[in-house]
Amino acid sequence: MTFISSFILLRQHQPALSPYADLPSLLAFLNTTSGDADCKNTVLSALIAEAQRMAETSGTAKVALILALWPGLDAIHGRLMRWFGNDPDRLATELAGRVTAGISTLDLARVSRIAATLLRNVERDIRRMLTKERDRVEVAFTNDLADSIGGDGRPHLGNSETSMKDLVRRLQHVVGDDAFLVIAVVIFGLSQKEASASLGLTHDVARKRYQRAIARLQADHDRS
């Protein structure tokens, strides 16, 4: 079945879609900033219902939904891209996978605004994933650092003793997530090339970030 014939069948299954002769006219209505919000929601509800039917038109309904949500997904992509600079394809995969899963599991009986709910859930879930990954990295570095220094679990920096977690927090306060890069080089003794590989960065990016972090730490020290 071609996409066009599938869309025609989709219109027959869902009366709310009948006013739209083809996909472009449907998207023109859904993507305009004007128009009746309730009517748009009714159309999106019809597409969700069809996508969840697991019928021969389900794939067409999902494609229509993703294209209808595209402006919102593109905005999310722009907001989150800074966290995926070294792997932009992963962000695209996360967006596509999570919006598809959201379409398949959305409970129409509990949702009043479909587009806003789907987009909000996609961004929320990806941000939660990033937070968990960051926390895992922090725990791993903290544990490795403690193991590398000794049984008391306290590194010796000059004449001061600071707990591992306090060290991480202090560095993060000044240089953010580049704290882990600094720890890898200064405490673990890794080369910048080795540290970049362990953190999923290119050598050039790691070198620039490390230099910037050290400069910020020195400036912070000079102010104190």
Q: Which domains does the chain have, with CATH numbers?
A: 3-130 (no CATH), 150-223 (1.10.10.10)
Which stretches does DSSP call E strand in the chain?
156-157, 160-161
Of residues 178 and 162, more confidence is placed in 178
State the pLDDT at residue 156. 44
Instruction: For strands 156-157 and 160-161, give the pairing.
Output: antiparallel
Question: What percentage of the chain has pLDDT greater than the value 70?
Answer: 82
Q: How far apart are CA 100 and CA 11, in angstroms?
A: 21
Mean of the pLDDT values across residues 99-116? 93
What DSSP designation does 190 have? Answer: -
Q: Which two tokens stand for residue 17?
A: 């879609």
State the pLDDT at residue 134. 67
What's the mean pLDDT when you consider all of the chain? Answer: 82
State the pLDDT at residue 130. 81
Mean of the pLDDT values across residues 15-21? 93
Question: In degrees rounded to 5, what are phi and psi of residue 162?
Answer: -135, 135
**pLDDT band for position 222 (cuts 50, 70, 90):** low
* Residue whose entry in the numeric block shows the structure tokens 């009714």: 42
State the pLDDT at residue 152. 43
Of the given ranges (50-64, 139-153, 193-207, 209-223), which has the lowest mean pLDDT? 139-153
State the pLDDT at residue 159. 38
Mean of the pLDDT values across residues 10-30? 92
Q: How far apart are CA 83 and CA 176, in angstroms?
A: 13
pLDDT at 100 over 50: yes
8 A C-beta contact, residue 208 and residue 223 = no
Mean of the pLDDT values across residues 191-204? 83
pLDDT at 102 over 90: yes
Question: Letter for the amino acid at 201?
Answer: L
Mean of the pLDDT values across residues 84-100? 87
8 A C-beta contact, residue 43 and residue 26 = yes
Q: Which residues of 162-195 are buried (b: 16+ CB within 10 A; e: fewer)?
A: eebeebbeebeeebeebbbbbbbbbbeebebeeb
pTM over 0.75: no
8 A C-beta contact, residue 164 and residue 145 = yes
**pLDDT band for position 217 (cuts 50, 70, 90):** confident
Of the given ranges (20-34, 48-62, 74-88), which has the lowest mean pLDDT? 74-88
Of the given ranges (22-26, 61-65, 137-141, 217-221), which has the lowest mean pLDDT? 137-141
The alpha carbon of 127 is separated from its chain's Cα centroid by a whole number of angstroms, namely 5
3-state secondary structure of 162: coil
